[in-house]
Amino acid sequence: MALRIALYRPEIPPNTGNIARLCVALGAELHIVGEPAFELSEKAARRAGLDYWDKLKLTLHPSWETFSKSNPSDSKLYLISTKGKISYTAPQYGENDVFLFGNETSGLPQEIFQSEIPSGILRIPMEEDCRCLNLSNAVAVIAYEALRQIRRW
């Protein structure tokens, strides 16, 4: 198995394209949960993903329920949110872990926070003057830390 990056209803095509390219570079899977706010074939997403789309391990899940049931039993699901209390550097990550990121304007819905599935709600520390990071930047920060731990890069 591989590291799994999941996006909940992404809204900005270039962010998703950048994340797709990152997933190919890291050998990670990309999962899109729910309907994105754009067509994945849209030019902006394809341009950001360059010519890597054919190499991308992409899975589309119509809903949170189908996504949550698809996770391997030996994986941990981490929610990434500015509401998190645990620094992304604190957990010990495993090869099959799953990282779920909310969309660009509203993050993750309350129903996901209230589910019993997540192993933790992680945050990326930042100065108080900054509300949040760009989604593709946040994915890169988390993914590289997880792979640093797993592969000892």
Give the residue numbers of the binding site.
80, 102, 124
Cα distances (Å, whole numbers) of residue 91 to 42, 44, 50, 65? 36, 34, 33, 25
Per-residue CA distances from 93 to 4, 11, 47, 65 (Å): 12, 28, 31, 23
Burial (Cβ within 10 Å: 0-12, 13-18, ≥19) of residue 80? buried
For the annotated binding site for S-adenosyl-L-methionine, the residues are 80, 102, 124
| DSSP β-ladder status, 29-33 and 57-61 | parallel
